[in-house]
Every structure is written in structure tokens, then in C-alpha cells.
Amino acid sequence: MIMVDTALLERAADGNPIRVGMVGCGFMGRGVVNQIVNSTPGMDLVAIANRHVENAERGYTEAGVEQTRLVDDAAGIDKAIAAGVPAVTDNHLAICEADGIDVVLDVTGTVELAARVSLAAINAGKHIVLMSAEMDGTFGPILKVHADRAGVVYTGVDGDQPGVEMNLVRFVRGIGVTPLLCGNIKGMQDPYRNPTTQEGFARRWGQNRWMVTSFADGTKVSFEQALVANAAGMQVARRGMLGLNFDGHVDELTQRYDVDELRAAGGIVDYVVGSRPSPGIFVLGTHDDPKQKHYLNLYKLGEGPLYSFYTPYHLCHFEVPTTIARAALFHDAAIAPLGGPRVDVVATAKVDLKAGTEIDAFGGYLTYGEAENSSVARAERLLPMGLAEGCVLRHDVSRDHTITLDDVDVPPDRFVDALRAEQDAYFSVQWP
């Protein structure tokens, strides 16, 4: 979206910046603060909400902002904006309700809070930009319906792999190539990693060890590829995806997949471990026009039938302001569901579990997430990973068993269950 930079410079010259409110200010959130404050003309981060307000203050301080104002509500945020002082608060709903905010950016990392923030922002007429693949993969389709009704943009971000993949899908389609596989390149995957095994890595980089574990155990890539499937209209080849171990370049993967099988599936999402360029993303596509195939061969993409396209990096928080600008200035989503869910992420036992065990959060000790086609997840009544936390097992479950709704007691009166039920009902999902 090269036009974004020019549009932002125009907003800066007019003294009319895009006003952003952010919810959540952990490791990734602080990177976003620094990027907007110091590298994005035409955009102002006017408020941050965080459960521990000192972390919101830290985000601004580390970005070189000397003065902030502690406020309690939306009125306080609007007064701070009028005074030209960034606001900090522990009230996430205030971010959604403040009149002076154009776009809400969610960086919370928790499914329920992200869902509440998204719905509140939409109901308040704000564009919602998400760095919460887990929430989006659980409730994205119904939240997109709410956003469309409200006339606002619902989108995941550039920088995270799903957004980068959809940028590439749009490019590939734009040159007349049909994408048949959207891939995510991983350095490693071990479903049995836990916060203890990942503690050293997390400490080294200043990250949350549970979040780091979700990267290592496959939960994160499962959610990320589910988002791509839901946005591109694809599915998975099997539960957990194929997940090839391949130490060559992604260009060589054109020989590792069967084009007819990919066509028959309507396109799949997948990941590979150990491939180059890491940690990038790739799309394999095909072309039916012999004339264009001749040109693709001339341009060194090979003879087909599959052609490889890739982006060698994803730059996380660096690219988030681009998504915000696309939403606010062009009403364009980097990635959003096409309609009902195509792929879900289901909970699988990481260890042998005993009856009465309460399931912990993703990236924990007890479960990992696997991508599964939504039709299969419905038919087998599989427990969505985004709803698993807090559920209690009715009986013993062995390691690697995919947990079903019949295996657990669900906590009563949860917001997340009501939202998921709304999604199921809207898209006419009838559980057996």
C-alpha cells in the first residue's frame, strides 16, 4: 500500500492526524507506541488503556513522550486530546467510547478482553484493528458482521503473518494467478513445549513466556493460518495441517505439492518448518493461460504448474500503522473473514489429563491448538481453543486427544460462549 505514505503526509500537513487509541501495552504494544510516535507522520497515538496503568505510561516514556495524563473515563480522554496530552487509563471501554478516537487498536493478547474491546469499538462506530489472532480465529466472522452493519472496518494487521499472506494473495490474484496454497515458514515446532521450557527464550527477548510457548507448540500458527483460510476461502489438508519439514528454499516447494489435489481442495493453508527465507510467508499459485505461463517462465518463475511467490519477512509492529491508515483512510482491511468460518482451531491435550482438571490458557502446560476444517469441528463437536480456558474435564483424557465439548464442563454465563453461540446461529451452524 505505497499510497498510504502520501495520504499520511497529507493528513500531517493538514494538521488532521488519524487519532488512535490502543488497548494493551505489553512487549508488542510498546513497539507499536514507538513506531507511531517516532516514525508515522499523520497519525497520533492519543490514548493507551492497560490493566496496569504504569505499563501504559512506560510505553509512552520509552518512546520519548515526556508528559501523559491519567484519566478515568472517555470524557477524560477527550479532554486530554483537546489539551494535546496523551491519556493513559485502566478503563479499556473508555478508549472505545471517546469521541476523539478514530481507530481502536487491540494488543491485549487475551481472547475475552479482545472480544469485548472489539465489540465495544464497533458499537461506538470505531474501526477496530487487531493484533489478537486467537480472538479473531474464534469470533472473527460474527464480529465482521457487526462491523459491516456499523459501517466500520474490522481487520487484522500487516506485519503479523496472516496480514502479510493476504497482501501477497491479493497481489497474486491481481496478476491473474490463482493462489492454491498459503504458507507460513516456521523455525521449529514442538507441541509439547510449555512455559517452563520456553522461559529462557522469553526472558532473553523480554516477552511473555506463555505467548512464546504458543509460538513453539503450534497454537499460534494454527490460529494464524485459520485467519488466512477464513479470509481467502481455503481449508486445511488435514487436522494440524501438513507441516512439512523442508530445509530448502520455498521456491522448491512447487515440486512437493500436487496441483490437482490443491485444486480439488479449493486451496489450502499450511506451514513448513526449516525452509528459507525464514521467518517469511509464501503463496503457491497456478495459471491456466499458456501465453502467461510462457511469460512466467521467462521471468524465472519456472514452467509450472505451480509458481512460488514469497515475502522474506514479517515485521510485526513496524507495519501496524499501515493497517491503521488503510482502515481509516481507505476503508480497506488487511485481512478479514469472507463469511462464515472455514477453519477453526481446536484444543488438543498436551499431556495426559485427569478428570477434574481445569484447562489453562493457550501457550500453557495442558493443551495445544490445531487447525481443523470447521465442518469437521462441527461434526465431531470439537472444543474451540479460544473457549478452552476454564473448562473442566469430565473424565481422563490422554495426550494428543482432541478434546470435545462432551469431554468438558463449560463455566456458566461466559461472554465468550454467548458470542460464539451468536456466530454459530448467524451462520446456521447446527451442532449434532
374-387 pLDDT per residue, tens: 999 999 999 999 99
pLDDT at 202 over 90: no
What is the predicted pLDDT for the residue at 210? 83
Main-chain phi, psi angles of 289, to 5 degrees: -90, 115
Residue given cell 476454564 in the structure block: 390
Average pLDDT over residues 353-380: 96
Sequence-distant (≥ 6) Cβ neighbours of residue 410 within 8 angstroms: 387, 390, 391, 417
Q: Which domains does the chain have, with CATH numbers?
A: 3-160+317-330 (3.40.50.720), 161-314 (no CATH), 343-426 (3.90.1210.10)
Give per-residue pLDDT as tens, 136-191: 999 999 999 999 999 999 999 999 999 999 999 999 999 999 999 999 999 989 99
pLDDT at 306 over 50: yes
What is the predicted pLDDT for the residue at 432? 46
What is the predicted pLDDT for the residue at 430? 52
pLDDT at 403 over 70: yes
Mean pLDDT of the chain: 96
Main-chain phi, psi angles of 144, to 5 degrees: -65, -40
Strand ranges in 42-160 using DSSP code E only, listed in sequence order: 43-49, 69-70, 87-89, 103-106, 127-130, 154-156
Average pLDDT over residues 389-402: 98
Sequence-distant (≥ 6) Cβ neighbours of residue 395 within 8 angstroms: 355, 407
CB-based burial label for 388 (10 Å; 0-12, 13-18, 19+): buried
What is the predicted pLDDT for the residue at 52? 96
Query: Whole-model pTM?
Result: 0.96
pLDDT at 431 over 60: no
